Every structure is written in C-alpha cells, then in structure tokens.
Amino acid sequence: MNNPNPLSVNLAGITLNSPIVLLSGCAGFAEELNAIDSFDFNKIGAICLKGTTLEARQGNPPPRLAETPSGMLNAIGLQNPGARTVAEEILPRIASLPTRLIANIAGSTITEYGEVARIFDNSPIDGIEINISCPNVKEGGAAFGADPCSAADVVAAVRQATRKPIITKLSPNVTNMNQIARAAIDAGSDALSAINTLMGMAVDIQQRRPILGNRQGGLSGPAIKPIALLKVWQLYQLTKPLAIPIIGQGGISCTNDAIEFFLAGANAIGIGTTLFRNPLIATQIHDELRQYLHNQRIPSVAALTGTLKLA
C-alpha cells in the first residue's frame, strides 16, 4: 500500500506532517511567519516557540548578535513575555495553524521549570521542549545541562508537572553529552533535541572589548554543522535501542544537510539560523526531501533514519 504521507513522522506520540521543525528563538511565536502570505505551515512539522520563563524577561544588554564566518553568535538572554502571557494571549492566536506547537521552557530554578511546564500543560501546546542550558542560580550559575544530576532533576520536575510529551534539548558544551542524555531519558524525557549552540566569543579590537553585551554567546549556523552531525550520530547509538526520537539540529541550511542528519539517526530535523537568511528555506527543504525519497525509492523519511552505512 502507498504511504499517504511519506514525510509524516511520529515524535514521541506527536504526529508531525513533516519532519521539518523550526527551532526555538528562530521563529519567534510564529506570528511573523504567519504574516507571510505564501508561508505554508502544512510543510512544517512543528514550531518550537521562543524560550519562555515564568516571568517576563527583558533579555541581555545589546549588542546581542555578532556575525561569524558561516555562523552567528547570539546572547539574547531569553527575552520573552512570560509563560502566562504566552499561554493566554499568544497561543490562542496561533493554535489553529496547521502545524504542531512545541513550547520551549527555561528557568533559573528547578521549581520554575515545573511551574512553567504546568502552565503549558493546561494549554493547546503539543509538546514541551526543555532548554537545560540555563544557569542554575542556586548552584553558582553552572548550567543545569552540564551535570547529569541537575539535568535529571529538571526533567523530573517537568515530568511531574505535565503529561504532554517532553523533549530535552541537549547542550554540546559538556564533556559527555550522552551521559546527560541518559540521565534525561531515565528521568522521563520522551525525546531529545541535539544540539543547542556552542559557547563562543567575539572581540572588537578597536575598543578592546567583547562585542556581545553579555560578553559570551551561543554559536549557531553552518559553522557548527559537522560538530552537530557527529553529536547526533553518537546520540543515536544511545537512543536507538531505547526508541527515543531525536530532533537533529545545528547548522542545517539545505536539503543535503538535512538528509545527512536523518542518515546519522535524526527522526526530525530543525532549521534555525538559516531562517534569518531565508524563511522559506524550511518549506523548500520539505519539498526537496520528498523528491529525494521518491528518487531513491525510499518509502518514508522514517525508513531513512539511522541508515548510514559504515562498511
């Protein structure tokens, strides 16, 4: 029987029309894209909304962006209107879009993560992505995601607060990302996102100062793609026997890049920084991926995942 939609994937119980996911912080709350008449949300599997905290945040002092060769440093500092405003005012305006909506949640304490998750539990959100790269204020500011115990504590608090699918977003700024992944899975994470940005810095040599107001920022875009691809492939060795899906991401800018991530083990792929250059690239990758599957006689994108040949 012909597969009615070869691009459909099941992400921890969330059925996506397409394996293309728009990444957090790169598509706002979907309202700018919704203002583009020709933007076809049917070709977008899910949108990870901007990182959201319990209270509204102004974010970091400017400058917040610095361009790098083949990439970008950002230090936005989680500017957002707060979880209640997102749930009560923004979600009703975007809930009927023909795509899945994933909240991306952040916090300074474990309790805050739980409270934000509880607000979204009671909303039309399809899933909750946990950004564990935030500083743990009670533990001297080290990122929750840098330590398996604190990462597990965050996931467990979110698990207690919601029955919606949970996706833990892994940071590459650690010695052993799979160890953090294992802790997140054991604490109840249904899926994983990999990778978040790599920490970096840029300097203005005339002023002899860091360019970013926050001094350091997260590097994203094509510059990080080879690193992200290796991390996803390594992660797949862990997740495959556990049947935990991965949203592969980091520097994907064209269909070839996306296919590389599927081969390495991604079930869905994320487009982030590339959207700033061309917001229509995501729907174009959807179309070209369909064509690739057809040309290669591969029945579905799910059949492509993890099929990298090693010999």
Quick check: is 134 catalytic?
A: yes
Q: Binding segment for ligand FMN among 38-46, 86-94, 110-118, 218-226 (CB under 6 A)? A: 218-226
Residue found by looking up tokens 């115990």 in the block: 149
Q: Is the peptide bond before 128 cis (omega within 30 degrees of 0)?
A: no
If one asks whether residue 45 binds ligand FMN (CB under 6 A), the answer comes out as: no
User: What distance lies between CA 217 and its chain's CA centroid?
Assistant: 17
Residues ≥6 apart with Cβ < 8 Å to 245: 9, 10, 11, 12, 190, 191, 192, 239, 267, 268
Single residue of 45, 217, 245, 272 touching ligand FMN by CB under 6 A: 272
What does the alpha-carbon distance between residue 168 and residue 201 come to, in Å, rounded to a whole number?
25
Count CB neighbours of 3 within 10 A.
Answer: 13
Site string for ligand FMN, 247-266 (x = CB under 6 A): --xxxx--------------
Burial class (CB in 10 A: 0-12, 13-18, 19+), 176: exposed
- Residue 72 near residue 221, CB atoms below 8 Å: yes
Shorter beta-carbon distance to ligand FMN: residue 6 or 170: 170
What does the alpha-carbon distance between residue 222 and residue 142 come to, in Å, rounded to a whole number?
27
If one asks whether residue 136 binds ligand FMN (CB under 6 A), the answer comes out as: no
If one asks whether residue 197 binds ligand FMN (CB under 6 A), the answer comes out as: yes
Site string for ligand FMN, 150-179 (x = CB under 6 A): -------------------x----------
Q: Taking CB under 6 A as the criterion, which residues in 109-128 touch ligand FMN?
A: none
Size of the site for ligand FMN (CB under 6 A): 25
Shorter beta-carbon distance to ligand FMN: residue 280 or 303: 280
Single residue of 26, 27, 119, 192 touching ligand FMN by CB under 6 A: 26
Q: Which of 26, 48, 134, 254 is catalytic?
A: 134
Do the bridges between strand 209-210 and strand 203-204 make them parallel or antiparallel, or are there none, so unpaired? Answer: antiparallel
Shorter beta-carbon distance to ligand FMN: residue 6 or 50: 50
Q: What is the contact surface with ligand FMN in residues (CB under 6 A)? A: 23-26, 50-51, 72, 74, 76, 78, 104, 131, 169, 196-197, 220-221, 224, 249-252, 271-273
